[in-house]
Structure 1
């Protein structure tokens, strides 16, 4: 089930549009304020930003940028009437579409459904492409790794641990929080900088070309993913 967040900047998205989305079996949640955005953005598949009379264009722009930076959620803007220049700006910032309130609720449902389905297919295709058949061997005794039959590369304890976490979750995006929990548990505060530093040194040891990374992919604003096959 997809989850759609509704963030009303000014005015309120009419209930008939929400009812139409719920008929598609989407869970529609209200994002009460911009301050709560960080708490909910990673839990939704898309966000409708409603600015009834286009009174806060700057705020809408900032929200689109924040959402696209912090998550992979899709974004739609909605209003009674959106000037063409604003429509173009929103799309350039990463919005998936602009919806005016003259839009029929059924049309809104189809726009949201088709965009989500297209995005899901793109993700599935990307996942398939990101799993080349690569031989990888972990040597726990020597705390080393061998990729594609090449000589073993010695790692530090933490480098080996973080590689092991990514390897056990091969093909899955691991967040900074998940990586931290696997290595340090609840003993320390999550440090994205520390994890990023470990990944940097790990890449220097296993990647053939630091400008053309093959094995450890950065998932923007989320974490990392190992894209080799077990």
Structure 2
């Protein structure tokens, strides 16, 4: 049974989330405290984390950054304010998705299932020996190890950023629209936001490009999408 950690200080919301996830055969743990939640997230085994933005003692932003230093499991951030969406997108904290309160519990369950499916598919593929390493210039991608290097320096990527980079690099010189990439890698057309692709491309460039205004690897084809240059 897959384990989900809910870090949420509103107990009514947390219990509602837990009830719906339990019905869908998830083992759910709740914590209402930011520091306790971070400790459990880092030191225990969970398959996905639902993380509220505003928490006592430590914010969701801080917790997400700390988790990303040691784990690549999916993180779904929850916020009560639409204005915080831009912060989640722009800070590059490593969250895989976000959802705004109030939301449908069924939508939450759908997003949890979608992210777990994608993460499990990625990790399964990376233990199957089917994917080949890619080396282009200074960039080296090792899918079986989920590791990326620029020269001798390892670049830490959350699993969704890794998956996007590998897909583009494995299909060099082809142009892919944001809509295609979103459908191909997120499989969440009905409940997602294609701007998620733009955010992940921005984060990737900040990590692998020397000059983000003149990218060497991931090129924007205006009006069409993105292309990995080889």
Q: What's the TM-score, normalizing by structure 1?
A: 0.50
Q: Which is helix-richer, 1 or 2?
A: 1
Relative contact order higher in (CA < 8 Å, ≥ 6 apart): 1
